[in-house]
Amino acid sequence: MERREQYDPEDIESLLYERSFDELLEEERAYVLRHLSGRAEYEAMRTLLLELRTNDAQAPPLEPLPSVRANVMEAFRAQRQPQWRIWLNSIGGVLVPRELPSLWRPALAFASLALLIVVAVWFIQGDGASTGSALAELKEQEAPAVRSTEPEATLDTAQEAGASTDAEANTQVMLAEVRNEDNAPSEAESMVEMISLEPVDNADIVAEPAEEPKKEKVAIVTSDNSKQEADAVPSYTNAPATGRVIQFEELSRNQTVANTEVKAITTKTRGKVAVPPSAGRNLAQDRELTSLLAAGW
Amino acid sequence: MALFSKEYGNLGDERLMELVVRGDERAFGALYDRYSRRLLSYFHRMLWNDREKAQDYLQDLFAKLAQRPASYDPSRPFQTWLFSVANNMCKNAYRHEEVVRAAARELRHGVDREEARDGIDVDHERFRGRLDQELARLDPDHKATFVMRYHEDMAIKEIAAVFGCSEGTVKSRLFYTLKKLAERMKEFDPNALHHGKA
């Protein structure tokens, strides 16, 4: 009985096609009788279905008229899009296929296109780079006119750097000497001697700023020659010396007041050789310094 | 495109319709060749066995398809969609031509009689004529369901998709249509019919 419940009218249709009422199994017959009145109705329906099948098989097939096809195709052509749009649509169909396995074609096409674009851009940039290098060469030709001031600026900067380095080194040396020796007058003599340092060539200052302290140590001479050395100082530059010579008495007096004065004197003295503005030189009165600063600007 | 001409016969309906939407004439021709006979037979069954009318409706259907290919719903199988359009056309024909229905039926009888004289078995012709009469009396949906199932050999699922109903509804509709037709055609007794054929 449970199997009968699984039947539906479509199953009756299959039974009608396959078996007559007498050929039905008991359970099938019971199921058929639940939906049909009896054998007569079942056989009538079966005859109808079989006759339909036979009739369709024997009926001459209907053929559409050729004119119908011609008219339909003409209607399609009349509504057809322009040729170039069809071409574009065909391209779109190729580029964006529905089937995933066919995606390698557009992928390959896009990759090739990207490669072409990269190559084209590379070539274009290559031409641009050659043009840019030409411009750079032109700039290099203009450079010497600008460089006419650069060496001075470099020299000035180097002089300043070397001078500051020089002054610091000397100061350190002198401080060390002052602290280590108890004899103040001898230190004062040394400081005076520092004033009479031989002028250091500008080229040496620029080239070897770190070696300057050594040279200065070697350049220290006795106090007897201080005047001569002081006279030699102007040979450092053609500008007249604007600094003043510290006398031994003055130095002794100052050092008596405070040992730290030695440092200030040393710095002040070294300002003649290499000129740190903070060393006490008057910028307005120092033509050399002014000219150097102007060149630097 | 000539390189792909051989593929049209192997392409599915939906793919062909996609090409038709893009303006491919060959795809349109392939679809016409694939469905024109079936649709002509369907129209012939549904429109009172009127061949001329069936030809006209076939042309109208594909003309509509040519003019508005984008009206096709890609989410549906093309065959289902096509037969639903054809069914709607038949419904419109029933609705708007009720006045001339009787006249067309008379004309169809005349044609059938002429065909019967061409040597075809008279019993088959009688049965066919009677069946057509009874089909014409049926509700359009029941008639269309019957024709699709037993003349066009469409599956229950496809018919359900055409009508937008459940498969159970189609099965029930078929069963009761068959039952009703069998009852109305009792005159064709199985034994008598087979005797006649023999």
Among A36-50, A154-168, A250-264, B119-133, which stretch is predicted with the lowest mean pLDDT?
A154-168
Q: Token pair for residue A263?
A: 């440092």
Q: Is residue A3 very low, low, confident or very high in pLDDT (cuts 50, 70, 90)?
A: very low
Token reading at B12: 């599915």
Select from A45, A46, A86 the Cβ nearest to the Cβ of B23. A86
pLDDT value at B3 more than 80: no
Q: Taking 90 as the threshold, does the pLDDT of residue A117 lie above it? A: yes
Which helix (H) or strand (E) covers residue B142, if one does?
Answer: helix B140-150
CATH number belonging to the domain at B6-197, selected among 1.10.1740.10, 3.30.450.40, 2.30.30.90, 3.40.50.410 = 1.10.1740.10
In tens, the pLDDT along B35-90 reads: 999 999 999 888 888 889 899 999 999 999 988 888 888 888 899 999 999 999 98
Output the DSSP codes for A271-295.
TTTS--GGGT--TTT-HHHHHHHHH
Interchain contact, A62 vs B36, CB within 8 Å: no
Residues 98-157 of B with CB under 8 A from A: 120-121, 124, 127-128, 131, 150-151, 156
Considering Cα of A236, then A238, then A239, then A244, what sign does the dihedral take?
Answer: positive
Give the number of A-B residue pairs with CB atoms closer than 8 Å: 127
**Mean pLDDT of the residues in chain B:** 80
pLDDT at residue A82 greater than cutoff 80 = no
**Chain B residues in contact with A73 (beta carbon < 8 A):** 25, 28-29, 32, 66
* Å between A46 CA and nearest CA of chain B: 9
Interface residue A141 vs chain B (CB under 8 A): no
> What span, in angstroms and rounded, lies between the C-alpha atoms of A87 and A68?
28
Tokens standing for residue B21? 């939407």
3-state class of A56 per DSSP?
helix
| Helix or strand (DSSP H, E) at B164 | none
Predicted complex ipTM exceeds 0.90: no
In this predicted structure, what is the pLDDT of residue B167? Answer: 87
* Structure-model confidence comparison of residues B14 and A276, the more confident one: B14
CA nearest neighbour of A167 among A269, A66, A239: A269
Report the sign of the C-alpha dihedral through residues B151, B152, B158, B164, in that order: negative
In whole angstroms, what is the distance from residue A270 CA to residue A195 CA? 7
Average of pLDDT values for A279-284?
A: 60
Among residues B109, B159, B100, B52, the alpha carbon closest in space to that of A68 is found at: B52
- Are the C-beta atoms of residues B59 and A71 closer than 8 Å to each other? yes
Contact B62 A8 (CB under 8 A): no
B32:A12 CB<8 A:
no
pLDDT tens by residue, B129-171:
888 888 888 888 899 999 898 888 888 889 999 999 988 888 8
Work out the average pLDDT over A24-44: 86
Best residue of A6, A45, A80, A91 to probe chain B, by most B CBs closer than 10 Å:
A45
Q: What is the pLDDT of residue B59?
A: 93
CA distance A101 to chain B (A): 16
Q: Which residue would you say has higher pLDDT here, A115 or B10?
A: A115
Q: Is-contact A209 A162, C-beta < 8 A? A: yes
Q: Is the pLDDT of residue A32 over 70?
A: yes
Distance CA A265, CA A279 (A): 9
CB–CB of A123/A115 below 8 Å? no
Query: What tens digit of pLDDT does each residue of A143-193 get?
Result: 555 554 444 444 455 455 555 555 555 555 555 554 554 444 455 454 545
**Predicted confidence (pLDDT) at residue A217 exceeds the cutoff of 50:** no
